[in-house]
Amino acid sequence: MTSASKKLTTEQKTELRWLQRSTSQQAGQFDGQAWASHDLRGRLDDVRCPVLLVQGTDDLFVQDELVDDTVAEMGSAAQLLRVPDIGHYPPLENPEWVAQVADTFVKQLTATAD
């Protein structure tokens, strides 16, 4: 639970606990193997589509330096939005806000494409 914002509702805490406990040990092991062997550094500048990276300031898993390096390597394709009082799970912690941000991002892209 330490990876989430301290402002989770009781319902959100219950959902997050369920999500974390329902992941089998084998799936968790495969996640760890994938994260350890799937390094895209050196290839992120190949991304040609716009990308919005959302990072909660209370996220203890993903370090600011890693996100900053990712944005720098992606160059103009990347936009970074750091959000206070959000942890590692923005869609769980504030789903309405995440939906609004995604909607705005896509609308801006489609407006510039016309």
CA 39 to each of CA 36, 43, 44, 59: distance values in angstroms, whole numbers, following the listed order: 8, 9, 10, 20
Closest CA to 44 of 66, 70, 18: 70
53, 70 in Cβ contact below 8 A? yes
Average pLDDT, consecutive stretches of 10 residues, N- to C-terminus, the chain (114 residues): 71 78 64 74 91 93 92 95 91 92 94 77
Identify the pLDDT of residue 101: 96
DSSP reduced 3-state for 19: helix
DSSP reduced 3-state for 85: coil
Q: What pTM was computed for the model?
A: 0.73
Q: Does domain 10-113 have CATH number 3.40.50.300?
A: no
* Angle CA 23–24–28, to nearest 5: 80
List, in sequence order, every residue forming a beta bridge with 55; answer none if it has no partner: 82
Domain extents in the chain? 10-113
